[in-house]
Chain A
Amino acid sequence: MDVQQRRRIAIVGLTAPAYLWLALAVFLPLSAMLYFSFLTVAPFGGREAELTLKHYRAFIDKPLYRDLAWISLKLGFHVTLICVLMGYPAALALARYVKGRWREALFLLVVLPFWSNALVRTFSWTMVLRGDGLVDRMIQAVLPWAPSLDLLFSYPAVVIGLVHAYLPYMILTCYISLQAIDDSLIEAARSLGASGATAFRRVILPLSVPGLIAGTVLIFVPVIGSFMEPRILGGPRAATMLGTVIEEQFTRIFNWPFGAALSFILLGIVLLILALSYPLLRRPMQAM
C-alpha cells in the first residue's frame, strides 16, 4: 500500500461515518420533504400521488397563509429589535465598563441560562405572566392603583418569552465583537477631539456591526420557525403563525405535502435572510 492510498483510506475512514449519518438523518429527509411538497397526497397506504404545484399556489392565492407568514416575520422583527435594544447596551457595558473578576462573573451569569432547558424557561414565564401571579402581587403592593397584569396567552407574552430565550445570543455576539476593538483606536479618536458620543458613533458602533448582524441572524431565523413558545405563552388566541400551522399539518391535520410546502416557503425566507446578510457575515465567520 503506498502513501497516497493510505492517506485516502484514512480520510474516508475518518469522515465517512459522520457524513453518512448526516446524509441519512438530515440531507435525505430534507430532499424527501422537498419532493413531498410537490405531491397531491402523501404516498402511503396505497394512495396514488401525482406531481402538483397546488400547495405552493395555495400559499400565493389564499391571503390567510400570506398573513401567517407576515405574522411570523413581524414576530421575528419585534423580538430581534428588542434583543438589539436590550442586548447591545448590556454587551457594551460588559465589554468596556466592567473589568476583571466582575466581568467574568457577570458574563457567566448572562450565558448560563443557555444551558438550561428552553422549554422549562418558557414554562417559567407562564407563572410570572398569569393574572394574580407573584409579579402581579408585587406590583400591586407597590402601586395599588396599577391595573392587574394578566399577559398570559397574548402576543406580548410570546414576545417576552422569545426575547428571554434569545437575548443571551445577542449579548454574546455583540460582546465578542466589542471586546475585540483595540482601546488605542478609541483613545486616538478622543485625543483627536472626538467627544465620547462621536467616538461611539464613528469608531465603536461600525466595528461592532458584525456582532450585531450575527446576533440578528441567530435570533431571527429560529424565531420565525418557532412553535413551542407561541403555543405555551400565546395560547389559542395568539399562537397562529407559520410555525404553529406547519406543526399542525404534521401532528393533527396530517396534510403532509401541504406542511412540506409551507416548510419550504419558511426555509426560502430563511435562506433569503442568510443570503442578504452573507456579505456582512463573511468576515466574522472566517475568523471562527
Chain B
Amino acid sequence: MERVGGWLVRGYLGLVLVFLYLPIAVMIVMAFNRSPLYELPIVFDTVWFQALAKNERLLTAGFNSLWIAIANTIIATALGTMAALAFQRYSFRGRTLMQLLLFPPITIPWLIIGTSMLVMFFWLGIGRGLHAMLLGHVALSIPYVIVVVGARLKSFGTALEEAAATLGANPWQTFWRISAPVMAPGVVAAALFAFAVSFDQFVISYFLAPPGVSTLPVEIYSAIRKGFTPEVNAISTIIIVVSMGLMLLFARLYRFGGER
C-alpha cells in the first residue's frame, strides 16, 4: 500500500514537471528544425542560429537589454542595500511606513505601473527610451533588493558589530570587516534578482520603448506578433539555457558557500 502511494506521488510530480517543461522542450527542439513553418518531421539544422547572428535588430535589442540589466543591477543593489542597512541598524519614526511603501511596486500589476510611467515621463519631458526604461527597472528592483538584503541582515542581528565597536573598531572598519562580509550572500542574491527583474522585464519596457529602440523582450514580442519566429526560437533557446544554467550554478554555490 505504502509503495503504491509512493509511486502515485512520484508519478503525479512527474506529470507536473512534464507540464512545466514540455513547452520549453518543444520550443528548443523547433529551434533546430530546418522548416521555417515548424513543419514535421524535424530536420536537424542550425540555420536559425546562423540567421540570428546576422539579425541586427535582435542583436541590438539584446545588447540594449544587457546594458540596462547591468546598470540596473549596480544602481538598484547599491541603493537598496543602503536603505536595508538603515532599516536594520536604526529605528526611527516613519520606518514602518517606508517599509510598507515597498509593497505597491511589487503588488500593483505592471500594466498599471508601466502606463503610469509612460504618462508621467511624457509629461515631465523625460520621454521614452533606454534612459526611461532604466529609470523604471531600477524603481521596480529596489523593493526586492531591500527585502532580500534586509532578511539577511535581520538573521544576523547586531551583536557582531557591537562587539567590534566595543573592541575599538571605528565605524568604517566595522562596516568593511564585519557588516560587509555578513551581508555579502544577501547582496549577491539581491543583485541576481535585480538582474533578472530587468533582463526579463517586458511590460515596463514595452510602454517606454519609442519606435526603433527596443530591448530583447520587446523585440521578441513584436516578432511573435508579426508571425515569423524561428529566429525567436533560437534566441529564446539561448536565453533559457543561459538563465537556467546560471540559476543552477547559483543554487549550488549558495548552498555550499553562503549558508555555512
Contacts and interface: CB of A to CB of B under 8 A. Distances in A.
Interface of A: 7, 10-11, 13-15, 17-19, 21-22, 24-30, 32-33, 36, 44, 86, 89-90, 93-94, 97-98, 106, 108-110, 112-113, 115-121, 123-128, 130, 132-135, 137, 164, 167-168, 171, 221-222, 224-228, 231-232, 243, 246-247, 250-251, 256, 259-260, 263, 266-267, 270, 274, 288
Interface string B31-65: 00000001010000000000000000000000000
The 10 lowest CB-CB distance pairs between A and B, nearest first, are A225-B109, A25-B139, A29-B120, A14-B86, A29-B116, A124-B27, A124-B23, A33-B116, A18-B79, A18-B83
Contact of A270 (B16, B105, B108, B236): B108
Contacts of A125: 23
12 contacts: A14-B86, A17-B82, A25-B135, A29-B119, A90-B16, A97-B5, A110-B17, A117-B243, A119-B202, A127-B26, A134-B29, A256-B119
A128 B83 contact: no
B24 interface: yes
Which one of A11, A90, A119, A221 has the greatest number of beta carbons of chain B within 10 Å? A119
A250 B111 CA distance: 11
Given A106-B17, A127-B38, A168-B20, 4 more contacts: A14-B83, A113-B24, A119-B217, A250-B115
B contacts with A: majority SS: helix
Nearest to A17: B79
Nearest to B93: A11
Contact of A246 (B12, B115, B224): B115
B83 A19 contact: yes
Contacts of B146: 18
A15 B157 CA distance: 20
B163 interface: no
B186 interface: no
Nearest to B203: A228
Contacts of A232: 221, 224-225
Contacts of B9: 93, 97-98
Which one of B112, B118, B236 has the greatest number of beta carbons of chain A within 10 Å? B112
Which one of B87, B107, B233 has the greatest number of beta carbons of chain A within 10 Å? B107
A contacts with B: majority SS: helix
B85 A14 contact: yes
Using C-beta atoms within 8 Å of the partner chain, give the interface range for chain B. Answer: 35 or more
Given A32-B123, A224-B109, A164 B115 contact: no
B240 interface: yes
B82 A14 contact: yes
B112 A225 contact: yes
Nearest to A94: B13
B129 to A, nearest CB: 14
Which one of B19, B104, B116 has the greatest number of beta carbons of chain A within 10 Å? B116
A121 B23 contact: yes
Given A128-B26, A232-B224, A86 B113 contact: no
A167 B202 contact: no
B156 interface: no
Contacts of B104: 26-27, 30
B207 A26 contact: no
Nearest to A44: B122
B229 to A, nearest CB: 8
Interface in B4-18: 5-6, 9-10, 12-13, 16-17
A283 B21 CA distance: 34
Contacts of A130: 38
B111 A247 contact: yes
Which one of B29, B120, B243 has the greatest number of beta carbons of chain A within 10 Å? B120
